[in-house]
């Protein structure tokens, strides 16, 4: 995934290590970053900075939409995106599709601050492949958030054009998709491909990025497509009670996350 680069965190204890039907799942207690979830040897989150990823992947698309009522979350078995989505009172239903039920169980056992997202009564869990699930659901969702792992193993299909076409077909009028968009420093070809696909399929497209220190390269992106709403500014004002619960997302950060480094800006302009 990252030729020539390594990221090392000191481990105090191995809390869980097992190969599921789909992937190797490891849960570690680190020395300085709290618990850490690792899938197939790739860091998914640490308790020290998970808020950055969960808040941005969730609130950027949700606040860009004028009135998200029915949403779908694909992947993210830790429950963090569900936790953040649950802060929006306007949401009526949250369908959650995860291929590997064991990730959910590990999170419920070891990561209560994230898995609390499953306690929301609006959440309906579907243990299924995201691609297959979308084929059965057309014109249903205002916002779809794809919290995928990296494009290897069970997450590989979630970075391909047929999946994005299915995402578009599952949206209602003025719907928005937001997908885990990798790093334009480390995965240039992957990011270019995602931007190309979303530009071709959606009338409005944008790429946001933000900091996550314990991800290789220290940053990650969100690839977004919209059937109507502008993406680069929040459509709705953030209630004070929600803002006070957050650590990373704010309206100013929302807008700033779309201001790309010059090399990335030029890279996307050529697509």
Q: What is the CATH number of the domain that holds 221?
A: 3.40.50.150
pTM: 0.96
Q: Is residue 115 part of a domain?
A: yes
pLDDT score, position 5: 87
Q: Count CB-CB contacts under 10 A for residue 203.
A: 9
Q: Is position 22 within any domain? A: no
- Note whether residue 5 is domain-resident: no
Catalytic choice (40, 142, 147, 150)? 147
Shortest CA distance to 185 belongs to which of 209, 169, 162, 165? 209
Q: What is the pLDDT along the chain (271 residues), one digit of tens a residue?
A: 678 888 899 999 999 999 999 999 999 999 999 999 999 999 999 999 999 999 999 999 999 999 999 999 999 999 999 999 999 999 999 999 999 999 999 999 999 999 999 999 999 999 999 999 999 999 999 999 999 866 666 666 777 899 999 999 999 999 999 999 999 999 999 999 999 999 999 999 999 999 999 998 999 999 999 999 999 999 999 999 999 999 999 999 999 999 999 999 999 998 8
- Asked whether the beta carbons of 130 and 154 are under 8 A apart, the reply is no
Tokens in use for 141?
Answer: 């969702």
The CB-side HSE value for 242 (13 A sphere, CA atoms) comes to: 20
C-alpha 231/C-alpha 258 separation (Å) is 9
How many beta carbons lie within 10 A of that of residue 123, not counting itself? Answer: 18
The count of domains in the chain is 1
pLDDT given for residue 1 in this prediction? 65
Q: Does residue 1 belong to any structural domain of this protein?
A: no
Q: Catalytic site residue 147? A: yes
Range(s) of the domain holding residue 253:
48-269
Q: Rounded to whole angstroms, what are the CA distances from 21 to 12, 100, 101, 103, 222?
A: 27, 8, 9, 11, 28
User: Cβ(176)–Cβ(185) under 8 Å?
Assistant: no
What are 96's strand-pairing partners? 73, 125
User: Nearest Cα to 43, choosing from 33, 57, 55?
Assistant: 33
Residue 13 lies in a domain: no
Look at the alpha carbons of 55, 35, 183, 41 in this order and tell me if their dihedral is positive or negative: negative
* Cα–Cα distance measured from residue 111 to residue 36, given in angstroms and rounded to the nearest whole number: 9
Quick one: DSSP state of residue 122? T
In this structure, is residue 35 part of a structural domain? no
Give the C-alpha separation, 227 to 138, whole Å: 14
Distance (Å, rounded) from C-alpha 109 to C-alpha 114?
A: 11
What confidence score (pLDDT) does residue 160 get?
87
Tokens of 90: 């306007």
């Amino acid at each position: 995934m990252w030729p020539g680069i390594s990221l090392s965190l000191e481990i105090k204890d191995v809390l869980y290590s097992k190969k599921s039907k789909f992937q190797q799942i490891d849960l570690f207690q680190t020395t300085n970053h709290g618990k850490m979830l690792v899938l197939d040897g790739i860091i998914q989150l640490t308790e020290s900075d998970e808020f950055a990823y969960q808040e941005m992947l969730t609130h950027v698309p949700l606040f860009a939409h004028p009135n998200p009522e029915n949403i779908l979350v694909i992947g993210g078995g830790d429950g963090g995106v569900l936790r953040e989505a649950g802060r929006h009172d306007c949401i009526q239903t949250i369908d959650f599709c995860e291929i590997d039920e064991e990730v959910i169980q590990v999170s419920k056992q070891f990561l209560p601050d994230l898995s609390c997202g499953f306690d929301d009564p609006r959440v309906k869990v579907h243990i299924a492949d995201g691609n297959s699930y979308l084929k059965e659901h057309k014109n249903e969702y205002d916002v779809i958030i794809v919290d995928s792992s990296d494009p290897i193993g069970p997450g590989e299909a979630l970075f391909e054009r047929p999946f994005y076409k299915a995402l578009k077909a599952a949206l209602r009028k003025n719907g928005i998709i937001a997908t885990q968009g990798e790093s334009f420093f480390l995965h240039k070809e992957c990011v270019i491909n995602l931007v190309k696909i979303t530009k071709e399929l959606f009338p409005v497209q944008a790429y946001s990025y933000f900091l996550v220190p314990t991800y290789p390269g220290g940053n990650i992106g969100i690839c977004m497509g919209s059937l109507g709403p502008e993406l680069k500014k929040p459509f709705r004002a953030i209630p004070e009670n929600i803002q006070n619960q957050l650590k990373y997302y704010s309206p100013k950060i929302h807008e700033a996350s779309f201001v790309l480094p010059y090399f990335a800006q030029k890279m996307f302009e050529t697509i």
